[in-house]
């Protein structure tokens, strides 16, 4: 007689059957689980990138202005203009009117300058009219920037981003005049009380005007009638929550510039 051993219990048979079916199910779903994992990882990459780009103090390359005799690097930085350590920091102010209050970084700059912005923002002093400029040299212990350029934006009630084309040109021209190779710029439109325009749209118009001035300056230099010194980079400041939109606006503006 052949001894086949003790017959397996019903519990053992059920356990083996359950384990077999579980393994079979896992094998069947394994490709789907693998694909789902890849899709999840892919979706996280841009989120992580945006998160890194919008952290305070992070400088993000936005591209380059390609000129005939050299390029100008354009960067975006999540930092307040009240905190920058640079040779030239440019900001914008709307018309000097009681209705145009200073907020956020503008209020911070005013405080660090011991209320100087409030004192000079008068119709008979710095009126803040479109294109009006004023250069300040902050004394030690106030702002870290060696020079602060104020650029007037005019009436805030009818502001249009098209004005920023002129502002971009002014930033370039003043940097050249002062011999500053790496100027910093903050539009400070939101901090001036106007919030209905996307930051990317504003940044794009600034970049267009800056590029126009750079190419004009290049032609003047070729004629032998230009000033010495060149600009190596422009650092565009934006709030952390607006950095991504600002970055995209600058990239679109660079891509739309006419070829040299």
Predicted local distance difference test score (pLDDT) of residue 109: 96
Same domain, 18 and 116: no
Same domain, 110 and 32: no
Nearest to 229 by CA among 167, 169, 177, 174: 177
Same domain, 102 and 175: yes
Q: What is the CATH number of the domain that holds 120?
A: 3.40.220.10
Predicted local distance difference test score (pLDDT) of residue 60: 82
For every residue of 207-219, DSSP letters joined together read: HHHHHHHHHHHHH
Q: For residue 4, is it within any domain?
A: no
Same domain, 181 and 123: yes
Q: Which of 16-25, 93-102, 206-215, 249-258 has the lowest mean pLDDT?
A: 16-25
| pTM of the full structure | 0.76
Mean pLDDT score across all residues of the chain: 82
Q: Give percent of the chain above pLDDT 70.
A: 76
Same domain, 114 and 27: no
- Which comes out higher in pLDDT, residue 52 or 22? 22
Same domain, 66 and 180: yes
Token pair 């952390």 is at which residue?
240
Same domain, 123 and 31: no
- Tell me how far apart the alpha carbons of residues 197 and 194 are, in angstroms, rounded to a whole number: 8
Same domain, 27 and 117: no
Q: pLDDT of 139-181, one tens digit each?
A: 999 999 999 999 999 999 999 999 999 999 999 999 999 999 9
Q: How many separate domains does the chain show? A: 2
Same domain, 144 and 183: yes
Same domain, 96 and 164: yes
- Which comes out higher in pLDDT, residue 37 or 231? 231
Q: pLDDT of 106-147, one tens digit each?
A: 999 999 999 999 999 999 999 999 999 999 999 999 999 999
**Which structural domain, as residue segments, surrounds residue 172?**
57-256
Q: For residue 2, is it within any domain?
A: no
Same domain, 16 and 100: no
Same domain, 22 and 107: no
Mean pLDDT computed over 177-197: 93
Between the two ends of the chain, the Cα-to-Cα distance in Å is: 99
């Amino acid at each position: 007689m052949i001894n086949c051993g003790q017959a397996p219990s019903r519990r053992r048979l059920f356990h083996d059957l359950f384990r077999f079916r579980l393994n079979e199910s896992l094998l069947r779903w394994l490709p789907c689980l693998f694909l789902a994992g890849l899709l999840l990882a892919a979706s996280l990459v841009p989120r992580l990138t945006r998160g890194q780009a919008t952290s305070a103090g992070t400088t993000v390359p936005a591209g380059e202005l390609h000129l005939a005799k050299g390029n100008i690097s354009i960067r975006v930085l999540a930092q307040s203009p009240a905190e920058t350590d640079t040779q030239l920091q440019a900001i914008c102010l709307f018309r000097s009117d009681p209705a145009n209050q200073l907020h956020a970084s503008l209020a911070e700059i005013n405080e660090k300058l011991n209320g100087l912005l409030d004192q000079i923002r008068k119709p008979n002093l710095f009126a803040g009219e479109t294109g009006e400029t004023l250069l300040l040299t902050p004394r030690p212990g106030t702002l870290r920037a060696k020079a602060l350029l104020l650029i007037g934006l005019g009436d805030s009630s009818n502001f249009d981003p098209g004005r920023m084309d002129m502002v971009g040109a002014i930033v370039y021209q003043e940097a050249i005049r002062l011999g500053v190779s790496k100027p910093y710029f903050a539009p400070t439109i939101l901090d001036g009380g106007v919030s209905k325009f996307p930051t990317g749209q504003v940044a794009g118009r600034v970049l267009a005007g800056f590029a126009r001035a750079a190419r004009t300056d290049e032609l003047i230099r070729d004629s032998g009638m230009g000033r010495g010194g060149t600009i190596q980079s422009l650092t565009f400041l934006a709030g952390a929550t607006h950095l991504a939109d600002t970055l995209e606006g600058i990239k679109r503006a660079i891509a739309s510039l006419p070829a040299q």
